[in-house]
Structures are given as structure tokens and as C-alpha cells.
Structure 1
Amino acid sequence: MSLLLLLPKFSTPTSCFNFVPPPPQVTIRPHALRCYHSPPSISTPEATLTNIVNSGVIACLRAQSPDVALEAARAAITAGISVLEIVVSTPGVFEVLHQVVQDFPTTTLGVGTVLNTKDAENAKNAGAKFITSPAIVKDILDQESDDLLYIPGVMTPTEILSSYNAGAKIVKVYPVSAIGGVQYIATLKKPFPHIPMVASQGITTDSVGAYIDGGASAVVLSDAIFDKKAISERNFTAIYHLAQLAALQGNAAVKRKEKIYPG
């Protein structure tokens, strides 16, 4: 008897590789923030930092509407992204974040480009585990939080050390590609090997490994995952595949770094 006759019938391999699980249909209610309270968080900034370092990639999403943002986030997370931020300029950002938190409670979710304490508080209330800024927002940095990790944006050695001494557990080097790219990160890590750094701006998926090898704890990927054309055309399948590739590159770079620097 042929062995093929004994095997259960599954769908073809091609359909498995091309399938993207459709996101559930959810309606985003305006002003939903007034109507919910997030459950008590068991996360800590230290745990969030560990998740970011273990991922190697922070997916940065900006979209022109809440529904596009929600579906793009779902596509990326389903593809393997474990750390994702939604830029604060995205319409309905806090309502979208709250819904994604409900759908993917184990994913490390945050809000990007936060410039004031009001948005920081709204992000926290919506379920964010971290927030990022393109610069140092002193009012946010001065507010200690037991469950929200703040990642200020820095560019110079003085800003890096000042942020760290003020309590920042990790900093975001921005705009990294405009000021030296991988080489700049590697140079900064020489005097500051103890300060975790995220590289941000203009990074492509194929350079993820180089940045992490150079000393970055993680990189921010924006257009490399949420391609502008794919977003405008609502091509969430394309986003899924870009996110899958980014997640694989991040995981490979982190594992390689762990072998070189165990413990």
C-alpha cells in the first residue's frame, strides 16, 4: 500500500505559505478611552527592556486611519513581531493600541513620538508597556513609573550619559542613519558599553544584523515593515511578509550575539 494513502489529507504547502490569518472585524469607538480602564499590569520596565533586547526589532507603525493601523498591527504581530509601537500621530492611536493589547496580550506594545506627559499618560492607560520620543522630554523622564518604560531620543554622547544618569534604562539613537549609521553606534558603545541603545531612523531589514553586531540592543524598523505603498493600498499580505522577514533577521542577530557574549 502506498504511504501517501496512509497520510491524513492537509491543505497544500503553497496555501500554507501564502495564508495570512484574517484579522477579526472590530469597530473602533470614538473616545473609547473615556470608557475603559486597563487591567492592572504585571509588567515592569525591566521586563519590557528584556523583551525588546530579546526581540532585536521594534516595529514602528504609522497609518492614516484607525482601521488600517489595526489591521497592519495584526498582520505584523501574526507574522512574528513581538515588539511594536504605534506612532502617536496615527488617528485614534490610543483606541487602536487598547484593541491590539486585548487581541495580543503577550506582545510588548508601545507608543512612539510621545512629546508630552499627557500623551504618555494616555499611552499608559491604553495598555502601553513603553513609549519612545525623538528627543529627551524631561517631564516624562522625571516621572518614574513602575510599569512603563521610557526610551528618550538622543544623538550625542552628552545626551546619552545625561539621560542614563537621569534614570533612562535605554536610549534611542536618532536619527542614526544621518549621523553615521552602524559605525556611529559602534563608536558610542566604546565609552558606554553599559547603556542599552536602540538604533532608529532609515534602517533597512538587511542591516538589522550589522546594527546589533555593532552594539545596538535593538533597531526600529518603520517603512521596512510598514511599506508606504502597502499601507496606502491596504496590502496587509505584503506587510505580513515584510514583518516575517524582519522578525527572522532580528531573532538571528540576537542569537548570534548571545553566542558571542553569553550571559
Structure 2
Amino acid sequence: MDLFGSSSDEEDETTASTPITPTRPPENGVMQFHTGTEQALLVYVTQQTKAGDSPEQILKIIDTFCEERHWMMHIGSLKVEILRDALLKRMATFTIPTPPTLIMLELGTYCGYSAIQLCSLLRTHHPTQPFLLYSLEISQQNARVARSIIDLAGFSDNVKVFVTHDVEDGLVEITKDLKPETTQFIDLLFIDHDKDSYLSDLQLIIKNSHLNSSSVVIADNVIMGRIDDYLEFVREEANKPDGLFLETHIFESTVEYCTQDIAQFGEEALQDGVEVSVFR
């Protein structure tokens, strides 16, 4: 995939297989949420992880849990190419003789899957690039799970998770921690939190001048979540000669971990997409 035409109740233990066999209980299927799922994921990942496992292996363990035990709302493996190409798009404009630290901001940590995925992609494709990922999460319990899994993946020195109910407060804490020379410090923004807050939080970040020129903004679940106001905003700005965004594109996919549910709901009902935009 080439972006922009350029460069909770868990039961029997099962093992991953390819193709995926329909072993997940129906009551734990797509868009089903149960108390304790996140903690059960942490227990599962901890039990399944072996010394020396790579971040990619840990992500596969999470995928197996979600495919065979309980559906969860991670970005999932199907969209990894979208993340990769968006990250490479940003890095194509970021490279300088002595690269500074690349700063990524994630809205919605959940259990740390996307944070690990972004860090792993960056380390794979730009192994000498220094980077930090700040992640804002509303749930203290989810943040604890995320920190533990991120630590297992070996990225605890690169990822800082802040618990906050307000993105503006979180940005204040990040600024205190980072002590940037200017207000513009975000090189990549990944949005995957409260679907009703995508637009307002993006506009807040823009208003506070936190996005660097050529920053890439990635918004997950924009089709499934029917986040029409967000899509209208970024697309209108991209269509203006001097708009806030240089370009924006939708990359269609399906809801994560839904292979077993397509027969029941139909593929159309499980359509999803990621909007990737480049700030001017």
C-alpha cells in the first residue's frame, strides 16, 4: 500500500491458526464489551510472552487473543500497512543530517497495541531515529494494562502514558515533560479515542499550534464510527488553496478482528476506514 501516491469473559485456551478458525465464543464477538477483558488480555499476553520475544510477536499474541478469545477495539493487523505508509510519509520530510527526536501523540492508549505498532514500525524502518510517543488515556485501569504490555514489548523508555479526562490538560502535562522550544512539537498524531471528540480535539491541537508543518494526522474508525464532522473538516481544509491540510485520503478496511462475524453481519456492515491527513 502506497499512501498519497508516494514512496469480558474468556474461556477455553486455544492456539493461533491460519486461516483463523471460528473458535471465539459468539458472545465475545465484534462490538461486544465485557468487564475484565483488558485485564484478561494482560494475563494472557504475560503468560504467552517468552524472553526475547519481539514487539511483533507480542502484537501477534494480542491478535490471537482478540481472534480466539474476545474481540477488542485495537487497530489490528489489517491496518498496519496504513500506519506504516503514513509514518514513512512523515519521515520522508523529517530526515535531516542530525535528526531530532520524532514526537508522536496518541489520543486513546487503550491497551497499548497501536503505540507498540507505531514504535515497532519506526524502529524497523528508521532504526537510528530517536523518538518519543506520548499517549493520553481516560482509564487508569487501561493505562496500567498498556504500560505493562508496552514494557513487555521493550518500549517503556519511548512511550509515556498520561491518564486524563481532558486532552487540553494532557497537552499541558506533555509540554511540562517535553519542554519543547516552541509550541509546535507534534510530528505524528494518531486519533483513536472518543469518537465524538475527534474533531474538537484536533481543532484544539491546531488552535494551540502543536502540529509541525507536514505532520501526519491518522484517524482510525472514521467509517465505522460515522465521524462525518471530522471527515468534512479535514477534507474541506485540504480542498482550500491555503487550507490547514495539504492533502487527506481515506483508506478503507474492515472492523478489526471481524473475520468470524462477516457471515452473520455481512461485509458492508463491518466496513471501516482510516483517514490520513498531512498538515500544511
TM-score range, shorter chain: 0.3 to 0.5
TM-score scaled by length of structure 2: 0.36
**Which of the pair has more CA radius of gyration?**
1
| Larger relative strand fraction | 2
TM-score scaled by length of structure 1: 0.38
